[in-house]
Amino acid sequence: EAQVTQNPRYLITVTGKKLTVTCSQNMNHEYMSWYRQDPGLGLRQIYYSMNVEVTDKGDVPEGYKVSRKEKRNFPLILESPSPNQTSLYFCASRRRGADTQYFGPGTRLTVL
Amino acid sequence: GQQVMQIPQYQHVQEGEDFTTYCNSSTTLSNIQWYKQRPGGHPVFLIQLVKSGEVKKQKRLTFQFGEAKKNSSLHITATQTTDVGTYFCAGFSGGYNKLIFGAGTRLAVHP
């Protein structure tokens, strides 16, 4: 089944404790992206990647890092999480040149 | 920076009534996409509009892209309880990598 997976689905952590949210897609898509969703703000793009080893900042990259060492994986790294990073995070992917973007199930992160 | 505004924020309708959500951008868009997110779910791609003045239909859903490519609308005819969710528009500006989402319109349908 074609899908985007994220882990963990839920995470409660404390300020300053480094964490990684994994994202993996099995559709051989070139383009992957991370979004955060906050009430009243819709989805905001954090980082995106156009292919392996090619990443760029979205609208809200501060406090986040990403890497794209393999085509299927696009982990989101929070080196020193803060409470304002409490949010619902979505990973997404699409084939280059295609319209349809596929979203993962989401990761709900709480930073205390 | 570029902004995409979406109205209304909430809409409650009786089943069978029509529903429309509107999307306006502060800049000209390359194209616009629409997504639906069910409560507790993830966004699901519905459609992409590219051409000025374009109109596309999917069963009871009609999507329009404005002539100036700065606004768009989604109209649902005769809503059903399965239409419940939040509808987002999202636009690309100056390329096809950065996608700017509107805040969404949450639709509630009362049977």
Judged by average pLDDT, the poorest of A27-31, A92-96, B1-5, B51-55 is B1-5
pLDDT at B94 over 80: no
pLDDT value for B95? 65
Mean residue pLDDT of chain A comes to 95
What whole-number distance in Å separates Cα of residue A107 and Cα of residue A84? 15
Which of chain B's residues have a Cβ under 8 Å away from the Cβ of A48?
Answer: 97-98
- DSSP class of residue B17? -
Q: Does residue A43 sit at the B interface (CB-CB below 8 Å)?
A: yes
Average pLDDT over residues A90-104: 93
Mention every residue, 6+ apart, whose C-beta is less than 8 A from residue A8: A21, A107
What whole-number distance in Å separates Cα of residue B34 and Cα of residue A73? 26
DSSP line for A21-80? EEEEESS--SEEEEEEEETTTEEEEEEEEEETTEEEE-S--TT-EE--SSSSB--EEESS
Q: Chain B: give the shortest CA distance to residue A40, in Å.
A: 6
* A2-52 pLDDT tens trace: 899 999 999 999 999 999 999 999 999 999 999 999 988 889 999 999 999
Consecutive H or E run containing B88: strand B85-92
The pair of three-digit structure tokens given for residue A37, joined into one six-digit string: 């969703």
